[in-house]
Copies of this chain bind each other. A is one copy, B any other.
Amino acid sequence: MDRLDETESVFALANGWVGWRATLDEGEPYGMPGSYLNGFHEQHELTYPEDGYAFPERSDTVISAPNAALVRLWVDGERLDLSTGTVRRHHRELDLRAGVLRRETEWISPGGRGVRIRSTRLVSLPRRPVAAVDWAVEPLDGPVRVRVCADLLANERVPERSGDPRAASVIQDPLTAETGRHDGLDGVLVHRTGRSGQRVAVAVAHRVEKPDATATATELTDDRFRLALDGTLRPGERIRVTKFAAYECAPVDGTPADDLADLVVAEAEAARADGFDALLDAQRAALDAAWATADVELDGDPELEQAVRFGVFHLLQAGRADADHTIPAKGLTGNGYDGHVLWDTEGYVLPVLTYLAPELARSALRWRHAHLPEARERAAELRLTGATFPWRTLSGRECSGYWPAGSAGLHVNADIADAVLRYVAATGDTAFLAGCGAELLIETARLWHGYGHFDDAGVFHLTGVTGPDEYSALVDDNVFTNLMARRNLRGAADAAQSCPEVAARLGVEPAEVAGWRAAADAVHVPYDRKRGVHAQSAGFTDRPEWDFAGTDADDYPLLLHFPYLELYRKQVVKQADLVLAMLRSPSDFTADEKARNVAYYEARTVRDSSLSASAQAILAAEVGHLDLAYDLFAETALQDLADLGDKTADGLHLASLAGAWLVVAQGFGGLRDDRGVLSFEPRLPRRITRLAFHLRWHGHRLRVTLTPDEARYELPDATGDDTVELWHHGEQLRVTGDSPVARPMPPLPTPGPEPASPPGRRPARR
């Protein structure tokens, strides 16, 4: 019970559109119940002790749709609540192949009556509006009188966590009933939000197995539809309720409430007509297809193998291919960060999905494209050029309430551009480029070109930004931002030339393109010659050092114990920043520079952000520190399963889970895609005897298998003519359907002493 809200996140089910946290079927005890729909949110006001120009006045907060997963149970008049009575057995199992959450509980009521409950939940991957629960109760020994209530519940009570009363007020009772109806055993509720102007409809269709004498009743109120079953179960008898739920939402001024109700009723009834087994089969089929690419084999460390698969499973759950959709930082697994989408998506999640399920990456980028109008408006409001995407949002509008670590993080624009370029390079999807990608590239390039300036020597600078590391803010020439902006500018210039009709529509003149290229070519990359390392941003290496010796173990995370005043001005790094720049732009750094930079920044990076470990792992691997890399790998992979940040209760850290796959592919596989060229420099950690993963490249499924002796590249699905060109440790290879290619693993160089982490901050040794 202690880890109740954590397990609600870990066992959450989602299909990119509907998300069910794994609150127990009976609803209580709960940690933080949540049934989310992608983009379904409420607004609340933001006020500031001292207001400033263009500080956002409103924020979006994810709110729960009506909860269709509930099945409450009374045993001889006593309500099933695992915090009472005796729990003889309680087992939950998230089946990553089947895509279901199974549960089996044996419970002895305080009055001494025993029951066994079994349930299986799914949120249908192929059938977007549909989620279902198959639930059954049976007596353990003697006969028991039971009452089973299958509820559809709106405005479910949730605990208050926020210190801000305005945010809290949004989460309590956010929905107003519009209509509801029932028909036989089935019911539907339609609600609307108060301010965001959204309408949500949820229908439940039931299939019931029960002893004949069981009484059946339904009850409909504004916020609840209930199917109640009352009867006595003798040994061998059971009550089984299968709930087929369907969700839809629409703008209040869109589909009328009754029509929306009809829609979900039809979906729920259709699902029931097909039956639960059909849903299970379709779920399995969808996952079989996904796992063919997504699976990772990691011989030698079954725990981390499972952790990587767990992470990939949640990434697949977070994506949705058939519409413009967003992937929030927590997916649909919790209301952390108010359910906002952050740069985590383009910076961490899409680099994985681009290779494992590129159609999911595409739909997330299409969502960004759909919100270009708000990004253009925001740029105009900030008196900038082009488009400025929000640091955090659900609706497309900026919701960042502390601009130095929010809106100033302009790199989110380059992260989006980077994700576009990677997606197009990996898929060759020129239709997407012409339809969405080029416009995203061009409008973000316009931001950079207008924002930066050339100095007297003709060097191009980007000043006053915040890079990935949030223990620095408002810095000049952040290397990550500058190199990403360069990629953005060049990508836009290329796109303007390859998509002339888009360029013409956006009024791009050749001189503008030339300006982008000139800025890109002249971008400043600060380097500290004296210390022989790159400065994360101008002057960083001249800052005073952090007093690590005087920092206690319980002073971490530092942002809860030190003011920004101290953090911002010292050489202390929350999360990979210069190191991430080396990952994104590998050819801008020599091997020696990388090694020195890794050592320098490892010593100053405290990993108070879960975004950090994966990038550090990948670069540590690249420069040969495979033990350190492996320990950092474990940290990112176990972020949520071990709740390392004590934040899993609020939802999973998708970027950290994505990071686990990235360490496998980019750290140990040495995968790089700089400038659209696929290359590998595999280097296997000692503990791993065999590592296999896959990725999609221009429609082909490439399988990479690594052993200490050999790297093997193959196209298992391909015919003879299909070809993928790639590089292996500097050697160009051509892999075809006929001919897998194997190459020896080069001996690992002796890397020298392991870089020191800040005292007490080295990742746990594995």
Interface residues of A (CB under 8 A from B): 46-54, 56, 59, 163-165, 381-384, 400-408, 453, 455, 461, 463-464, 473-474, 476, 538-539, 542-544, 559-566, 568-569
CB distance from A400 to the nearest CB of B (A): 8
CB distance from A585 to the nearest CB of B (A): 23
Q: A54-B563, A383-B566, A464-B568 are in contact. List 5 more A-B contacts (CB 8 A).
A: A46-B49, A50-B400, A52-B402, A404-B474, A539-B539
- In the complex, the count of this chain's copies comes to 2
Write out the residue numbers on chain B whose beta carbons fall within 8 Å of the beta carbon of A455.
542
Bound: A564/B403 CA distance, A: 9
Q: List 18 A-B contacts (CB under 8 A).
A: A46-B49, A47-B165, A48-B48, A49-B164, A49-B402, A52-B564, A53-B561, A382-B563, A382-B565, A383-B562, A403-B564, A404-B474, A453-B544, A455-B542, A463-B543, A464-B565, A464-B568, A538-B539
CB distance from A398 to the nearest CB of B (A): 11
Write out the residue numbers on chain B whose beta carbons fall within 8 Å of the beta carbon of A403.
563-565
Using A47-B164, A538-B539, A539-B476 as known contacts, say yes or no to A53 and B563 having CB atoms under 8 A apart: yes
Closest to A49 in B: B401
Write out the residue numbers on chain B whose beta carbons fall within 8 Å of the beta carbon of A564.
52-53, 403
> Of B163, B408, B464, B559, which one neighbours A47 at CB under 8 angstroms?
B163
CB distance from A44 to the nearest CB of B (A): 10
Closest to A410 in B: B565
Write out the residue numbers on chain B whose beta carbons fall within 8 Å of the beta carbon of A54.
563
Bound: A303/B402 CA distance, A: 46
Write out the residue numbers on chain B whose beta carbons fall within 8 Å of the beta carbon of A407.
563, 565
Write out the residue numbers on chain B whose beta carbons fall within 8 Å of the beta carbon of A47.
47, 49, 163-165
Write out the residue numbers on chain B whose beta carbons fall within 8 Å of the beta carbon of A164.
47-49
Per CB-CB distance, the 10 closest pairs between chain A and chain B, nearest first, are: A49-B401, A464-B569, A453-B544, A50-B402, A50-B401, A463-B569, A46-B49, A54-B563, A382-B563, A53-B563
Considering residues A47, A384, A455, A539, which has the most beta carbons from chain B within 10 angstroms of its beta carbon? A47
Write out the residue numbers on chain B whose beta carbons fall within 8 Å of the beta carbon of A405.
50
CB distance from A165 to the nearest CB of B (A): 8
Q: Are A560 and B463 in touch, CB under 8 angstroms?
A: no
CB distance from A399 to the nearest CB of B (A): 8
CB distance from A579 to the nearest CB of B (A): 23
Q: Are B473 and A474 in touch, CB under 8 angstroms?
A: yes
Q: Are B48 and A402 in touch, CB under 8 angstroms?
A: yes
Write out the residue numbers on chain B whose beta carbons fall within 8 Å of the beta carbon of A400.
50
CB distance from A377 to the nearest CB of B (A): 14
CB distance from A551 to the nearest CB of B (A): 10
CB distance from A342 to the nearest CB of B (A): 13
> Of B59, B381, B474, which one neighbours A474 at CB under 8 angstroms?
B474
CB distance from A46 to the nearest CB of B (A): 4
Write out the residue numbers on chain B whose beta carbons fall within 8 Å of the beta carbon of A56.
49
CB distance from A727 to the nearest CB of B (A): 40
Write out the residue numbers on chain B whose beta carbons fall within 8 Å of the beta carbon of A50.
400-402, 405-406
Write out the residue numbers on chain B whose beta carbons fall within 8 Å of the beta carbon of A543.
463
CB distance from A169 to the nearest CB of B (A): 13
CB distance from A409 to the nearest CB of B (A): 11
Write out the residue numbers on chain B whose beta carbons fall within 8 Å of the beta carbon of A165.
47
